[in-house]
Structure 1
Amino acid sequence: MTDSDPNHSINTHLYLNRWIAVVHGRVIGVGTSRAQAERAARQIRPKDKIEVFFVDSAGQLNQRAPLRVAPEQWLTQHHLLQRVVNVLHAQQVDAYLVGGAVRDFLLGRKNIVDLDFAVPVDGVAAARLVADALDAAYYPLDAERGTGRVVFDRPAGSSSTRFYLDFASFRGRDLPTDLRDRDFTINAIALSLTGAPALIDPLNGLRDLENGQIKAVSNGAFRRDPVRVIRAVRQAVDFGFSIESRTAEQITQAADLLPLVSAERQRDELLKLLNTPAPGHAVRQLHRLQILPHILPEVAQMAGVTQSAPHHLDVFEHTLAAMDAWVELNSAGWPDIEETLRPKLPDYLRTLLPGELPVFKLMPLALLLHDTGKPRTRSQTGAAGQRKIQFLGHEKESAEVTRQVAHRLRLSGVARDFLETVVLHHLRPGLLSREPSLSRRAIFRFFQATDRQTFHAGAAVCLHALADHRATFAPGQGHQEEQTLLAVVNRLLAGYFEQRERLIEPPPLLSGRELIRELGLKPGPTIGQLLHRLKEAQATGVVSTRAEALAFVQSDPDFARLQSPDL
């Protein structure tokens, strides 16, 4: 680096073994990955040219992080892998570690829990053999293709981790044929587990790893399995890599084959993509490569749909910014949420919905879909030169689109309802922040609208609102509005996490049977309505005793009608 280089003045020793994002010689973003550093910088300088470097242990700037190519050390670092190798050696089974595990070891990634093995024998039999030796669970994944899975749980007394070991017969006559049938060169590297560990790399995947490049193994890779077009974008964003130009062309050419892929596989790959460190950038890449219209045409239609202030981005770009804001806020641990509430958020976000989907994995999808109703509801008011763009009822239209998309992606009914609820009510915290004060009645009604027996979406709506707001205003603007919204969100979350029995779900003072028995009311839907209004009266502090509850019910207009001789 020369003195004429604007980056020469950076004190790189402050950022050893970190990625930094630089504008005009100033560090404005730092992260443990390229994507993380660039995302942080984009929040501050969205329009400037940003350079991203890895600072090595000597303080030198590099375009790429160094690969940690030391396969002989992998077995000592990954004790389960060593145990598997010992079992295979004892049974004289040749095996090769392949796929993402090899790539991740080379990238120096930690906590690798998915291990794929290619074997020249029946993979199902190999899986059963290893499972028996490890005292682990096992089942065939695809008996016809010779693929079996071992599920190994770390022994009790240590941190809870589940490992998945997949054993598959060679795809073709030998290992080179198997590797050429895979998706990208960086995933077509094998590690021989027979004798001394040795890398087998017939397609120069190691070179592409070093160059930070996603490259298809062959011209037909995407036509053999079109879902790979989504995977290419996901892995490029996840690793901070670029997509090789010819591979990008192949992706665009094969995108129209996506409808041939099952909805379940599209869904799984899409959810992985949306949970990368930069989901907004990932969706932008889907759009650039002409993939988006084939999986989410409703999202593609948002591109170019302009909005009035305070929005500074069109609907599409605002949506992508909201997704990235979600990652930023969640990664930072929600620093603006009250200190007593913050520790409760991780467990809430890990809540599992049917289909083994935690809430946090669905949130980027909710943000992606929250404004899909805007293209259909856009209108303009005012005279020329003073026109204001509005989207009346867009939240209802967006909720309907969300339901359709969730159904198309074969999400569970509960997951569909959760997403629809978050989208339908995404404006509500912001509307409450415009009121002079937040009443107990408003808190009660908010959670009555957003919570169900099968899921509680109210807290998710609050967090969604913060990410949405962060993406609405231009950098440096909207601070006062954000503080007002935060005050409301903190009150709502405090009600949910700390005062639920008092403000949201007070213990019932009367039952329907008691109303019928003690007050002589006839069974029917009106009983439920009376009980709901009584519940609200308890939550708002109007009623606190059984006697007050009886008096409240007797003063209700519906009670008088139920006592009428005509009834």
Structure 2
Amino acid sequence: MTLLPFDPESWPAPLALVGGSVRDALLGRQRSPLDLDLVTPAPALDLASRLARKLGAGFAVLDAEREIARVILADGLTLDIARQQGKSLETDLQRRDFTINAIAYSVNTRKLIDPLDGQGDLKRRQLRAISEANLRDDPLRILRAYRQAAQLDFTIHSETREMLIRCAPLLKQISAERVREELAYLLACERGADWLLTAHHDGVLADWLPELKPLETIGPSGYHHLPLLEHTLEVVRQVDQAATDLADWLGDSLEKSIVGQRTIRHLTKWAALLHDIAKPATQRRDPETDQLLGFPSHEIVGAEMTATIFQRLKFSKEEERWVSALVRHHLRPGQLSNYDPPSARAIYRLFRDLGDMLPALMVLAQADRRATLGPKVTEEVLTRASQLTEMLLSRYLTPDDPMAHPVPLIDGRILMAELQLSPGPQIGKLLAALQEAQAIGEVQTRDQALALARTLLKT
């Protein structure tokens, strides 16, 4: 394992690589960015500080009490160096989460240390907990089991699964921020939706996403070939494929960061998970036959529920705004495609209301469509929806498109001067009405805009 950016033989203190870097090297997996975890029986803070000076790298103390420090190199590589816990390296490894993460590589002797047969579990492609006590010591490991199973495409050992179910109530002790980050990692995995569903069925999400449970009560329908919970997870699965379908229009726009490493793609997956979250609460049934009549305003109630969930998980206000808006408007592309052609006013209002969220909305709508294949979904419906998607994205990506990106004919200053108006909410309402009229072609000049403003003032 030639992972280290320095010669370990030049260091008198014993060092061992541990954790994910060893596991992934044994699996032949590429890690990007590369982060390495090392343990040493020597004073770790002093060792890390000396190493940072030698390499001309950055240095930060992560946990002074437990002696954990980070060395940050210019190429993105990070080295986390920790003081060995216990009298021996084997004792330290016994305190970790899963056997596959409890394999060490001595950089001094260049030998593997594997006291728990982690290599055997790697060959069996299974996740096995070291002990239930270790899960209880840090309950976030419960959720991490499902994430790592998704990440590595492993199974979870049956006894470990029983431990996870028993320990699931302990997750409510974990901070919202840590749970949020683990859920983010899970959703980013190719098989994340599958393991999110398993975690839900195991009761692991009961305290953090209790809104998923009522989704189990809604079955398939004329448009939906899947029960609601399975449909929801299928939409999450389809987000990446929808992005691939639309790649010619999207470019790398979904990879734009909103907060930290959480991108528009990630938030779109959250919107997929929550887009129908209010259907159980808004369902209407015939009082005599119990026939399902629909879910009126479920997108509006769903946006409110999304805001509550995002506040619970301590997302930023900007992330809450994005995902609530995607949930609030997720029906609109489908509604527009019901008209042939849709009105110019409806198209403009979609551009106006979504702004730079429009590409993400179209990915969400495409994913929803791919997961909605009931008997009432016809080829004609799918064709119209596809044509609408291409038209909207094409116009959005045209910088001078008069409907997607109208340039106002007049501004508030001109409006107040010409019509002798005082500042106030009325100015904003007039400008909004004029911009809509301009976008749909009702006014084309400054004089026409002022004439319409005078007419609007009289009504």
TM-score range, shorter chain: over 0.9
Shift of 1:384: 4.3
> More displaced, 409-418 or 102-111?
102-111
Separation in 2, partners of 1:283, 1:268:
14
Structure 2 residue 162 is matched with structure 1 residue 249:
yes
AA of the residue aligned to 1:520:
Q
Matched, 1:370 2:275: yes
- Aligned-pair distance for 1:441? 2.4
| Residue aligning to 1:447 | 351
User: What amino acid is the match of 1:310?
Assistant: Y
One-letter amino acid matched to 1:97: L
Matched residue count: 458
Local SS of the residue matching 1:498: coil
Change in Cα spacing, 1:446 to 1:104, as seen in structure 2 (3 Å) is: same
Cα shift at 1:287: 2.1
The corresponding residue for 1:102 is 22
Task: Point out where structure 2 has 5 or more consecutive residues left out of the alignment.
Answer: none
Q: Which amino acid aligns with 1:83?
A: P
Letter in 2 for 1:465: A
Equivalence for 1:485: 385
CA distance in 2, matches of 1:530, 1:355: 38
Q: Which amino acid is the alignment partner of residue 345 of structure 1?
A: L
How many Å separate the matches in 1 of 2:249 and 2:55? Answer: 36
1:545 equivalenced with 2:441 (yes/no): no
Give the 3 Å change call, closer, same or farther, for CA 525–363 of structure 1 in structure 2: same
Aligned residue in 1 for 2:111? 198
Name the residue aligned to 1:91. Answer: 11
Aligned equivalent of 1:63? none
Q: CA deviation digits over 1:484-509, x for unaligned, max 9?
A: 11111111111222246522332222
Match of 2:194 in 1: 281
Paired with 1:100 and 1:479, the residues of 2 have a C-alpha distance of 47
- 2:83 match: 169
- 470-479 or 428-437: bigger deviation: 470-479
Q: TM-score, normalised by structure 2?
A: 0.94
The equivalent residue for 1:354 is 259
> Does the residue aligned with 2:79 lie in a helix, a strand or coil?
strand
**Residue 96 of structure 2: SS of its match in structure 1?**
coil
Q: Is the 8 A contact 2:283 2:292 kept in 1?
A: no
SS across alignment from 1:117: strand
Distance between the aligned counterparts of 1:99 and 1:478, measured in 2? Answer: 51
Structure 1 position 383, deviation (Å): 6.9
- Partner SS for 1:270: helix
Seen in structure 2, the aligned counterparts of structure 1 residues 457 and 194 have a Cα distance that, compared at 3 Å, is: same
| Residue 317 of structure 2 is aligned to residue 413 of structure 1 | yes
2:5 is paired with a residue whose SS is helix
Aligned to 1:240: 153
Residue type of the alignment partner of 1:391: F
Report 1:271-420 matches (<5 A): 271-330=184-243, 333-334=244-245, 337=246, 342-381=247-286, 384=289, 387-420=291-324
Contact 2:16 2:106 in 1 (8 A): yes
Change in Cα spacing, 1:429 to 1:148, as seen in structure 2 (3 Å) is same
The alpha carbon displacement at 1:430 in A equals 0.4
**1:324–1:478 Cα change, 3 Å:** farther
Higher RCO by CA contacts (8 Å cutoff, separation 6 or greater):
2
CA-to-partner distance for each residue in 1:218-245, whole Å, 9 max, x for gaps?
1212111111111101111222211111
Matched, 1:523 2:428: no
What CA distance in whole angstroms lies between the structure 2 residues aligned with 1:382 and 1:307? 20
Shift of 1:474: 4.8
Q: TM-score when scaled to structure 1?
A: 0.77
- Please identify which structure carries the higher helix content: 2
Q: How much has 1:307 moved relative to structure 2?
A: 4.1
Contact 1:501 1:507 in 2 (8 A): no
Closer/same/farther in 2, CA of residues 525 and 477 from structure 1, 3 Å limit:
closer
CA distance in 1, matches of 2:431, 2:193: 45
- Deviates further, 544-553 or 204-213: 544-553
Q: Residue deviations 1:454-488, cap 9 Å, x none?
A: xx222211110111111111599644322211111
What is the alpha-carbon distance in structure 2 between the residues aligned to residue 497 and residue 132 of structure 1? 48
Q: 1:229 aligns with which of 139, 142, 158?
A: 142
Q: Which secondary structure does the structure 2 equivalent of 1:323 belong to?
A: helix
Q: Which residue matches 1:180?
A: 94
Q: Deviation per CA, 1:264-310: give whole Å up to 9, x if none.
A: 00000011111111222112211232212122110122113224211
Which residue pairs with 1:122 in the alignment? 43
CA distance in 2 between counterparts of 1:96 and 1:360 reads: 36
Cα deviations across residues 17-36 of structure 1 (Å, max 9, x unaligned)? xxxxxxxxxxxxxxxxxxxx
Instruction: State the secondary structure of the residue aligned to 2:36.
Output: strand
Report deviation, 1:343.
4.1
Pair 1:477–1:542, CA change in 2 (3 A): closer
The one-letter code sitting in structure 1 at the alignment partner of 2:102 is A
What is the alpha-carbon distance in structure 2 between the residues aligned to residue 318 and residue 123 of structure 1? 49
Q: Distance in 2 between matches of 1:479 and 1:150?
A: 57
- Secondary structure (helix, strand or coil) at the match of 1:116 reads strand
Given candidates 118, 133, 136, the residue that maps to 2:54 is 133
Task: Give the conservation status (yes or no) of the 8 Å contact 1:308–1:389.
Answer: no
